Amino acid sequence: FRPQDPDVARLAEREQARITRNPRYRTPLTTLERLAAAEMLLTVSTGGRPPARRVRAVQLAALVTDRIARNFGGDRDAAARWASTRVARALDVPRSPRWPPDERRSFERLSLLAASIPDLEQWGASDRSRLVRALRAKGGRSEVPYVRLLDGHRRFRESLERLVTPSAAGP
């Protein structure tokens, strides 16, 4: 995910440089708020092919929010429990994995999105394993491995593109 606004993108780059230079550095709250308020785009590698579609973070957020409203009466906690269980089962994750708390939390939060993929259970072992690594990586010390894992996961990227692409046969 990258900020669409060039000023915010430069701010994000400066903050990343500070964090790289000093891992103990903490971004000020006002800067975090500015970054969080900016519209973000998810641009993923297409292996040399032109990208079929840009997936915007706001589209994915709307997809998850709609599912929570429709299927869980707006109860995000219930939705998160359901999604985490469904995704863990689909991806062959043990019932109580011995992961660091931040990795477990990121897996649970991103499960809300991954649970929207209808054929997740049918993915091959390699695709499932790579998605587990990506979902866990979001809880790591740096976003870089997470972004690289997402960027390299073609099946996940294509699934997200299909989720946000209006159906030709739709209403």
CB 132 within 8 A of CB 104: no
Whole-number average pLDDT of the chain: 87
- Kindly state whether residue 160 falls inside one of the protein's structural domains: yes
pLDDT band for 168, please (50, 70, 90 cuts): very low
> Does residue 166 register a pLDDT over 80?
no
d(CA 64, CA 76): 10
- Kindly state whether residue 23 falls inside one of the protein's structural domains: no
- Kindly state whether residue 64 falls inside one of the protein's structural domains: no
- Kindly state whether residue 79 falls inside one of the protein's structural domains: yes
- In DSSP notation, 132-145 reads HHHHHHTTSS-SHH
- Kindly state whether residue 11 falls inside one of the protein's structural domains: no
d(CA 100, CA 5): 34
The helices-and-strands tally (H runs, E runs) of the chain is: 8, 3
DSSP-assigned letter for residue 166: P
What are the tens digits of pLDDT across the range 5-30?
Answer: 888 889 988 998 898 888 888 999 99
Burial class of residue 131 in the structure, from the number of CB atoms within 10 Å of its CB (0-12 exposed, 13-18 middle, 19+ buried): buried
Burial 37-75 (b: 16+ CB within 10 A, else e): ebebebebeeeeeeeeeebbeebbeebbeebbeeebeee
What are the tens digits of pLDDT across the range 36-58?
Answer: 888 887 766 656 655 555 678 88
- Kindly state whether residue 125 falls inside one of the protein's structural domains: yes
> Does residue 119 register a pLDDT over 90?
yes
- Kindly state whether residue 16 falls inside one of the protein's structural domains: no
Which domain covers residue 132, as residue numbers?
A: 72-164
Mean pLDDT, to the nearest integer, of 78-98? 92
Give the count of domains, the chain: 1
- Kindly state whether residue 37 falls inside one of the protein's structural domains: no
pLDDT band for 169, please (50, 70, 90 cuts): very low
d(CA 44, CA 147): 9
> Does residue 170 register a pLDDT over 80?
no
